[in-house]
Amino acid sequence: MRKILLIALLFISTTSQAALNVFACEPEWAALTLQLAGDKVSVYTATSALQDPHRVEARPSLIAKAARADLLVCTGAELEAGWLPKVLRESANRAIASGAAGNFEAAKFVAMREIPGRLDRADGDVHAAGNPHIQTDARNFLPIADALSKRLMQLDPANAGLYQQQLAAFTQKWRAALGKWEAQAAPLKGVPIVVQHKGFPYLSAWLGLHEVTALEAKPGMEPSASYLAQVVSELKQHPAKMVIRAAYQDDRPSDWITQHARITAVMLPYTVGGTPQASDLYSLFDDTIARLLAGAK
């Protein structure tokens, strides 16, 4: 009888400690999930900071990981529209299918920017729900963390108390970090910038940067030499301090503008792992602000 009881207790203990398998589309959501769940999750990150999250190959390895996932954590807002639907379809995993409890889209929990008034492919790579690059505004992590924590509790009620504690600790620490970052970034308010890709409206809104123009004539389209020449002409009338791009982007357009318009090129990590310094969520924003301040000098 005692042996049976010990086996039962061991089974209960093992079950309560079993990790949820999480399929994170981007590094920032993998990092946030680990902040909120610790060793209660096993996280697989589908993309790296040096990959364009719009354009990812739906490889068999991704499909296999999705097939075993209990929870999918992605940006949504059509950011992954070029590859995730195939991964979900071929994984045949109902637990993470669209609409299921195991399907979590971060964009559903923040106020979206640049929602198009019309949808026309002639306008370039636009998203019906708005610009999906929500991770560049550190404030967005608070409502997303709250919603993600609740989803973890729903899927793993045995560890609900731990998730509540982790969320409270994260929220307190993150609010303190926000205050620090915003104080450091005060000199950036009103600084005119050029963006290589329309990927920074949330960052600009948060820190008060002024976007003069973009190096893409239309979102997602590589700039032509003639268009870059137009940008240089525009910058003579409306000067900018720097041109910014994400770590995964080709540096040639920014470098060309740097040479011809005589402004600084700034590469930002964009997500966790985008630079050696951006090793977690906190250092992601430490490094982002440090690089922007250096570019604004």
Q: What is the pLDDT of residues 251-295, one digit of tens each?
A: 999 999 999 999 999 999 999 999 999 999 999 999 999 999 999
Residues 158 and 260 in one domain: no
d(CA 65, CA 46): 9
Instruction: Provide the 10 A C-beta neighbour count for residue 169.
Output: 12
Residues 127 and 40 in one domain: yes
Tokens 């959501």 correspond to 29
Residues 48 and 171 in one domain: yes
Q: What letter would DSSP give residue 242?
A: E
- Structural domain that includes position 223: 185-296
Residues 225 and 256 in one domain: yes
In a domain, residue 55? The reply is yes
In a domain, residue 171? The reply is yes
In a domain, residue 9? The reply is no
- 297 residues of the chain, pLDDT tens digit each: 444 433 333 333 334 455 899 999 999 999 999 999 999 999 999 999 999 999 899 999 999 999 999 999 999 999 999 999 999 999 999 999 999 999 999 999 999 999 887 555 555 566 687 999 999 999 999 999 999 999 999 999 999 999 999 999 999 999 999 999 999 999 999 999 999 988 999 999 999 999 999 998 777 677 788 889 999 999 999 999 999 999 999 999 999 999 999 999 999 999 999 999 999 999 999 999 999 999 999
Residues 254 and 201 in one domain: yes
Helix axes 27-37, 141-155, angle to 10 degrees: 60
In a domain, residue 134? The reply is yes
Tokens 């509540």 correspond to 164
pLDDT of residue 128: 80
pLDDT of residue 120: 57
pLDDT of residue 115: 83
The CATH number of the domain holding residue 54 is: 3.40.50.1980
Helices marked H in 185-277 — which ranges?
201-207, 225-237, 252-261
**pTM (2 decimals)?**
0.90
Residues 137 and 216 in one domain: no
Residues 236 and 287 in one domain: yes
